[in-house]
């Protein structure tokens, strides 16, 4: 007669009351933890992977770095991603100012003479209470906002040059690579009407003082000049329209 032995196996992780008592008494080892499957990780969202150049242009530097592995199968987009990433990193190196910075005499060497070679510095010598200084200052404040890669600073004239004549105010100095590139004494240097566009035209007449981040580039200077001329024409046209409207009333 055959002897059959049956082994009954309970559900994995299950425990009888007797086993629980024995574990409390230390007669059985602790029950092993129940099996848990690894957390579900969804496949990459293919919709988030760029399909063309325009979608890459819209991404930040961090987002472009995260795309490195996703674009391995698309050689063209991967090369474009690298190019765009290099452009963003280059743009981040451009010094940004964006306002007319007040300095004292003790700051002049550090802020102006020792500025990096690729930074153009425009210095206004002024004094409070002089209307002409206020006119030019407002022009520079607008230009500083529009061309944040150019450094604009202001300093009280006698703090910069002791006994500097008040009749020379305002005076504009242009520095680059530790040297004075130009100087303009009084508002007459900027035409009959001192406007931001007029000041910009004078500053960029021979050098790329106001630049768009491509410091030292002739193309950049021409782009700035073209934009300034267009803005100047728009301002003149608007002034004529305003004059015609007021005279007809």
Mean pLDDT of the chain: 78
Measured between alpha carbons, how far is 82 from 108 in angstroms, rounded to an integer?
Answer: 41
| 122: exposed, middle or buried (Cβ count in 10 Å: 0-12, 13-18, 19+) | buried
- Ordered by where they begin, the domains of the chain are 50-93 (no CATH), 100-237 (3.40.30.10)
Task: Find the helix packing angle between 131-146 and 196-203, rounded to 10°.
Answer: 70
Residue 7 — very low, low, confident or very high, per pLDDT cuts 50/70/90? Answer: very low
Measured between alpha carbons, how far is 55 from 47 in angstroms, rounded to an integer?
Answer: 11
- Per-residue pLDDT tens over the stretch 171-217: 999 999 999 999 999 999 998 889 998 899 899 888 889 875 544 44
Question: 3-state class of 205 per DSSP?
Answer: coil
More confident residue, 196 or 44: 196
146 has pLDDT over 70: yes
248 has pLDDT over 70: no
Tokens 């061309």, residue?
147
Q: What is the pLDDT of residue 151?
A: 95
30 has pLDDT over 60: yes
As a whole number, mean pLDDT of residues 69-97 equals 69
**pTM, full prediction:** 0.58
Q: What percent of the chain has pLDDT over 70?
A: 63
Structure tokens at 101: 């910075």
Q: What is the pLDDT of residue 174?
A: 97
Q: What is the pLDDT of residue 206?
A: 80
Measured between alpha carbons, how far is 124 from 183 in angstroms, rounded to an integer?
Answer: 10
Poorest-pLDDT segment among 75-79, 160-164, 241-245: 241-245
Whole-number Cα distances in Å, 24 to 16, 32, 237: 13, 15, 95
- Number of Cβ within 10 Å of residue 194's Cβ equals 19
């Amino acid at each position: 007669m055959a002897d059959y032995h049956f082994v009954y196996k309970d559900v994995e992780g299950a425990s009888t009351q007797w086993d629980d008592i024995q574990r409390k008494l230390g007669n059985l080892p602790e029950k092993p933890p129940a099996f848990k499957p690894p957390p579900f990780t969804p496949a990459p969202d293919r919709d988030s992977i760029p399909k063309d150049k325009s979608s890459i242009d819209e991404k930040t530097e961090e987002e472009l770095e995260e795309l490195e592995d996703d674009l391995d199968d698309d050689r063209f987009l991967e090369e474009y991603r690298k190019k765009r990433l290099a452009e963003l990193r280059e743009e981040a190196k451009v010094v940004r100012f964006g306002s007319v910075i007040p300095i004292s005499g003790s700051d002049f060497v550090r802020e102006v003479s020792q500025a990096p070679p690729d930074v153009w510095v425009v210095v206004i010598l002024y004094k409070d209470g002089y209307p002409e200084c206020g006119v030019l200052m407002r022009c520079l404040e607008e230009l500083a906002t529009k061309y944040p890669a150019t450094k604009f600073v202001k300093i009280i004239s006698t703090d910069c040059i002791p006994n500097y004549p008040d009749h020379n105010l305002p005076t504009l100095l242009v520095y680059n690579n530790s040297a004075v590139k130009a100087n303009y004494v009084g508002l007459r240097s900027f035409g009959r009407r001192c406007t931001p566009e007029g000041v910009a035209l004078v500053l960029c007449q021979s050098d790329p003082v106001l630049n768009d981040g491509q410091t030292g580039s002739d193309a950049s200077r021409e782009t700035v000049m073209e934009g300034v001329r267009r803005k100047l024409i728009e301002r003149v046209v608007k002034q004529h329209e305003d004059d015609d409207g007021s005279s007809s009333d």
